[in-house]
Amino acid sequence: MAKLLLKRLVHVIPLLFGVSLLSFFIIALTPGDPVSDLLANPRVSPETVEALRHRLGLDLPIHVRYGRWLLGLLQGDFGLSLQYQVPVSSMISPALVNTLILSLSATLVSLLIGIPLGIIAAVRRGRQVDRMCGVLATLSLSTPRILLALLALLLAAKTGWFPIGGQYSASFDRLTGFDKAIDALHHLVLPAVILSLAPLAVYLRQMRGNLLDTMDDDYVRLARAKGLSETAVIVKHALRTALSPVITLFGYSVGNLLSGSALVETIMTWPGLGRMTVEAVFARDIYVLMAGVMIASVMLIVGNLLADVLLGLNDPRIKLEA
């Protein structure tokens, strides 16, 4: 396992370099820049726009701009936001923390609900609870996330049970420590639930299918023949094998935390990195956008490495194959 992880880490450097190079050139070659909209303003002369473009370094060749950005990145500097004129690192740090809070909460909800429901659906195959789980999974996967977010906002507006967007209340600074935690959790519930529905359905279906396949294996039949109860057969023998594909899906879900949360963050005004990246696209803020791309790439790599470790802990055969 250590050799496998070391081999994966060696491949990380050229992978990230390729992602950064391709992403930077694609973004930089897109028509327009953060100051091009000023040309539509009759009060701003073309000379002023060119002077601003020169001050921001937008008139330099693409390879020069990429080289400067890459050199700064190696020193821990993501560059300067072209829209806000502040260091990108100062912008992404709190946004990244907010995205991780939202995404990890959604992942926890999807795992704690999806896997047990998948086990119940497999054990009760063909019964009412199995059909209800199938309907839940179908609705979760077939309903667009944007529609779910809008319905959640409508529910919050009509019932008043949840706040309508945001991360904190307007009176958050005047609350005590415990009340602040309750307020933050209250704002977190709806976005986390909406974000968890799709992976929850995936975990449910995958767990159900894996467990049904595993329960027909010879070693599971042998365990039943020994007189073990059905609960012991599932928990001690079938469940561990059935979990391996789910662990792989969990690794991919960690890598998709940023991209998956962008839509929910934008609609529900959650101040996360996904929402910031979407805003950077419309503002053509290349350095903020590149920070989002690189962080998403790192999260994908971390998710895959985490999946490899968990698979090795769950199935000793992975270590031998490594």
| Confidence check: pLDDT of 274 > 50 | yes
Mean pLDDT of 139-158: 84
Share of the chain above pLDDT 90, in %: 0
pLDDT tens per residue across span 197-213 = 888 888 888 888 888 88
Is 321 contained in some domain?
A: no
Is 214 contained in some domain?
A: yes
Contact partners, residue 287, CB within 8 Å, separation at least 6: 69, 78, 79, 80, 81, 82, 88
**How many Cβ atoms are within 10 Å of 264's Cβ, its own excluded?**
26
Q: What is the pLDDT of residue 81?
A: 83
Q: What is the pLDDT of residue 322?
A: 47
Is 313 contained in some domain?
A: no
Is 73 contained in some domain?
A: no
Mean pLDDT of 268-276: 84
Is 58 contained in some domain?
A: no
Is 149 contained in some domain?
A: yes
Helical H runs in 124-176? 128-142, 145-159
What CATH number is attached to the domain comprising 242?
Answer: 1.10.3720.10
| Confidence check: pLDDT of 263 > 70 | yes
Which residue did the predictor score with more confidence, 162 or 48? Answer: 162
Which residue did the predictor score with more confidence, 180 or 227? Answer: 180
User: Among the listed ranges 7-11, 70-74, 203-207, which one has the minimum average pLDDT value?
Assistant: 7-11
pLDDT tens per residue across span 89-146 = 888 888 888 888 888 888 888 889 988 898 888 888 888 888 898 888 888 888 888 8
Give the pair of three-digit tokens for residue 48: 């002023």
Amino acid at position 271, single letter = P
CA-angle at 141, arms to 200 and 167, nearest 5°: 60
Residue 320 — pLDDT band, cuts 50, 70, 90?
Answer: very low
Domain count along the chain: 1
Are 266 and 274 in contact by the 8 Å Cβ rule? The answer is: yes
Mean pLDDT of 64-83: 84
Share of the chain above pLDDT 70, in %: 87
Amino acid at position 48, single letter = T
Is the alpha carbon torsion for 172, 178, 184, 186 positive or negative?
negative
Contact partners, residue 185, CB within 8 Å, separation at least 6: none
Is 290 contained in some domain?
A: no
Q: What is the pLDDT of residue 25?
A: 87
Are 66 and 21 in contact by the 8 Å Cβ rule? The answer is: yes
Is 138 contained in some domain?
A: yes
Residue ranges making up the domain that contains 257: 94-279
Is the alpha carbon torsion for 215, 220, 221, 224 positive or negative?
negative
Largest CA distance in the chain: 87
Model confidence pTM above 0.75: yes
Give the pair of three-digit tokens for residue 316: 């000793």
Mean pLDDT for all residues in the chain: 80
Question: In this structure, which long-range contacts are made by residues 272-280, counting pairs with CB atoms below 8 Å and at least 24 apart in sequence?
Answer: 272/95, 272/96, 272/98, 272/99, 272/102, 273/92, 273/95, 273/96, 273/98, 273/99, 274/99, 275/95, 276/91, 276/92, 276/95, 280/83
Q: What is the pLDDT of residue 259?
A: 67
